[in-house]
A = this chain, B = another copy of it.
Amino acid sequence: MAGAVSWKQLLINALESNSNLKHSSFLQLATVGSNGRPANRTVVFRGFLDDTHKIQINTDSRSRKVFHLGIEDLRHCPFGEICWYFTDTWEQFRINGKIDIIDDTVLDPIKLQQRDKAWFASSLKSKLQYLGPKPGIPCFSEEPPPQQFSLDPSTGPVSAFCLLVLDPDQVDYVNLKTNDRLAFTSQTSVNGEKCWNTERINP
């Protein structure tokens, strides 16, 4: 029975049911630092990549290792686990997979196009954050940073803008209202396509 519903559909349903809450698109992304310790931070879900199961997140490539999502850390250990708890429907998704870093050093034209698309899909306010003072660096002045940057809406991504694409290979779903729990694991077939197996788990 459980095999009938994909985790992507469950996630789309959860986003829909919790869409009245601003924080419903906020998730926690865990990675491993180059010191071998875990790191964890809230990031914003930026949709699936085209019609795939891959999850898009934007980040600032200037971010300091200790307190932000460290791109250098990700190069060291390219895996992440999302923990996404929906506060209205009491559903939790844990999504583990490999993260692809698409910054301005990438050469693949298709990936650069994906980065462009993610940039143009961002709000002006989001975009301006990539023009602000270097993030994660102590500010010694009490002065607020200059708020007015000019930004031509037709200009492509600034160099600090980085798209992360998490390609899930296992997903754990739990609904605390119904006590339903499903484990989704993927296998890659001979033609390179991912197929998902669903297993019902005792919560």
Besides A32-B36, A137-B202, 19 other CB < 8 A contacts?
A28-B40, A28-B83, A30-B38, A30-B83, A36-B77, A38-B81, A39-B96, A40-B40, A40-B81, A40-B82, A40-B83, A41-B83, A66-B183, A67-B94, A67-B201, A136-B201, A136-B202, A139-B201, A145-B202
A199 at the interface (CB under 8 A from B): yes
A114 at the interface (CB under 8 A from B): no
- Contact A40-B202, Cβ < 8 Å, known A85-B23, A85-B28, A87-B87: no
Which residue of B40, B85, B94 is within 8 Å of A26 (Cβ)? B85
User: How often does this chain occur in the complex, in copies?
Assistant: 2
Whether the Cβ atoms of B81 and A133 lie closer than 8 Å is no
Please give the distance in Å from A169's CB to the nearest CB on chain B: 10
A135 at the interface (CB under 8 A from B): yes
Q: How many residues of A contact B (CB 8 A)?
A: 44
* Max chain B Cβ within 10 angstroms of own Cβ: one of A133, A139, A170, A202: A202
List chain B residues, Cβ under 8 A from A80. Answer: 38
1/0 per residue A1-32: CB within 8 Å of B? 00000000000000000000101001011111
Chain A residues with CB under 8 Å of chain B are 21, 23, 26, 28-32, 36-42, 66-67, 77, 79-83, 85, 87, 92, 94, 96, 133-139, 145, 170, 172, 183, 199-203
